[in-house]
């Protein structure tokens, strides 16, 4: 999005599917072919994939033989991944690595608008020189310092523990619901990526954007439960990205999604194909 706003051109290399891991040969090839590429932007865990990237794949990009740019690793969701998943410590070894984290996710402080960059001093100095003259607002800084105190870090860890418990529960319960298809992402974030089918799996159901869109809309409009339609993303046909909530929220979601799917199948054939493209576009535009 920032690249588009700033009129910076992009070279996209799709992730491998299934699994949503880096296609290392294709990335290396793209970097070899175009020396004007300045940054390789990777996301671990990915959004909406929820998958942590393999360390050896990131290393292969960092070690590229001829390309001389910077590898940016977005770790916005890293606190939900198993201990040791972050590559932030690699910046002491790799002067071409920038690791970004945020207080918006596991800390629940999106309103504070604060993140952190881990990188080599040479790049850190450049970033400091480039940033607007005003520093982090004092209230934001105070909130962040409090959030990082041992007591509050403990609260954050407890919250993550609760989310992981509910994530496991969703992984166990969702496949039992007729019409919910394969879980196709990783388990390392605070959301899960599930396929939705045009009929229950035992009746030969296939992943369907029509169903995913209908479920997304019914949940949002009739049940007040908001998911993300991601059916137009690479390798995500028929997928919703479902954020893991509290125990009560997960109770409600599991109950409502079952009802909504049942209703959907009752109406099969009347799912309003005509304006599907417009609805898909609107649903895909919901970011974050």
Site for ligand PLP in 152-191 (CB under 6 A): none
- Exposure string over 25-49, b if 16+ CB within 10 A, otherwise e: eebbebbeeeeebeebebbbbbbbb
Beta bridge partners, 115, equal 102
Q: Considering only residues 17, 85, 86, 104, which one is a binding residue for ligand PLP as defined by CB under 6 A? A: 104
Distances (CA, A) of 194 to 249, 273, 274: 17, 22, 25
> Residue 103 or residue 237: which is nearer to ligand PLP going by CB?
103
Q: What is the smallest separation between the CB atom of 266 and ligand PLP, expressed in angstroms?
A: 35
Q: What is the smallest separation between the CB atom of 12 and ligand PLP, expressed in angstroms?
A: 15
- x/- letters, 18..57, toward ligand PLP (CB under 6 A): -------------------------x---x----------
**Would you count residue 76 as binding ligand PLP (CB under 6 A)?**
yes
- Residues present in the chain in total: 288
* DSSP letter for each residue of 219-281: HHHHH----EE-TTSTT-TTEEEEE---HHHHHHHHHHHHHHHHHHHHTTT-S--TTHHHHHH
What count of other Cβ atoms lies within 10 Å of the Cβ of residue 265?
Answer: 18
Question: What DSSP designation does 132 have?
Answer: -
Q: What is the smallest separation between the CB atom of 105 and ligand PLP, expressed in angstroms?
A: 7
> Residue 74 or residue 233: which is nearer to ligand PLP going by CB?
74
**Would you count residue 136 as binding ligand PLP (CB under 6 A)?**
no
Q: What is the smallest separation between the CB atom of 189 and ligand PLP, expressed in angstroms?
A: 9
> Residue 122 or residue 130: which is nearer to ligand PLP going by CB?
130
Q: Where are the beta strands (DSSP E) in 51-186?
A: 70-74, 97-102, 115-119, 180-183
Q: Considering only residues 69, 115, 200, 245, which one is a binding residue for ligand PLP as defined by CB under 6 A? A: 115
CA distance 88 to 18: 26
Q: What is the smallest separation between the CB atom of 271 and ligand PLP, expressed in angstroms?
A: 29
**Would you count residue 288 as binding ligand PLP (CB under 6 A)?**
yes
The span of 15-23, 102-110, 141-149, 188-196 binding ligand PLP (CB under 6 A) equals 102-110
CA distance 144 to 266: 50
Token pair listed for 99: 């690791």
Q: Considering only residues 96, 102, 119, 189, which one is a binding residue for ligand PLP as defined by CB under 6 A? A: 102
> Residue 189 or residue 218: which is nearer to ligand PLP going by CB?
189
Query: How many chain residues bind ligand PLP (CB under 6 A)?
Result: 9
Residue 212 CB-density burial (10 A; 0-12 exposed, 13-18 middle, 19+ buried): buried
**Would you count residue 74 as binding ligand PLP (CB under 6 A)?**
yes
Q: What is the smallest separation between the CB atom of 147 and ligand PLP, expressed in angstroms?
A: 14
Q: Do the Cβ atoms of 105 and 116 come closer than 8 Å?
A: no
**Would you count residue 87 as binding ligand PLP (CB under 6 A)?**
no
Contacts with ligand PLP by CB under 6 A lie at 43, 47, 74, 76, 102, 104, 110, 115, 288
């Amino acid at each position: 999005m920032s690249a588009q706003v700033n009129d910076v051109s992009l070279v996209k290399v799709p992730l491998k599917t299934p699994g949503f891991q880096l296609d290392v040969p294709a990335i290396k090839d793209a970097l070899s072919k175009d020396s004007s590429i300045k940054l390789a932007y990777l996301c671990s865990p990915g959004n909406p994939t929820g998958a942590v990237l393999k360390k050896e794949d990131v290393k292969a990009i960092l070690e590229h033989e001829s390309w001389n740019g910077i590898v940016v690793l977005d770790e916005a969701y890293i606190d939900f991944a198993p201990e040791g998943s972050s590559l932030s410590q690699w910046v002491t070894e790799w002067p071409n690595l920038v690791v970004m984290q945020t207080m918006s996710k596991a800390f629940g402080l999106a309103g504070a608008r604060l993140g952190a960059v881990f990188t080599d001093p040479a790049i850190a100095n450049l970033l400091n020189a480039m940033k607007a003259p005003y520093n982090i607002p004092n209230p934001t800084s105070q909130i962040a310092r409090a959030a990082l105190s041992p007591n509050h870090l403990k609260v954050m860890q407890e919250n993550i523990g609760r989310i992981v418990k509910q994530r496991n529960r969703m992984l166990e319960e969702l496949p039992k619901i007729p019409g919910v298809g394969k879980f196709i992402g990783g388990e390392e974030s605070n959301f899960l990526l599930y396929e939705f089918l045009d009929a229950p799996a035992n009746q030969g159901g296939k992943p369907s954007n029509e169903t995913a869109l209908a479920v997304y809309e019914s949940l949002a409009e009739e049940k007040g439960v908001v998911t993300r339609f991601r059916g137009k993303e690479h390798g995500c046909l028929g997928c919703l990205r479902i954020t893991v909530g509290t125990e009560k929220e997960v109770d409600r979601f599991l109950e409502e999604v079952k009802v909504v799917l049942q209703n959907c199948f009752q109406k099969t054939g009347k799912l309003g194909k005509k304006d599907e493209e417009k609805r898909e576009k609107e649903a895909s535009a919901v970011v974050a």
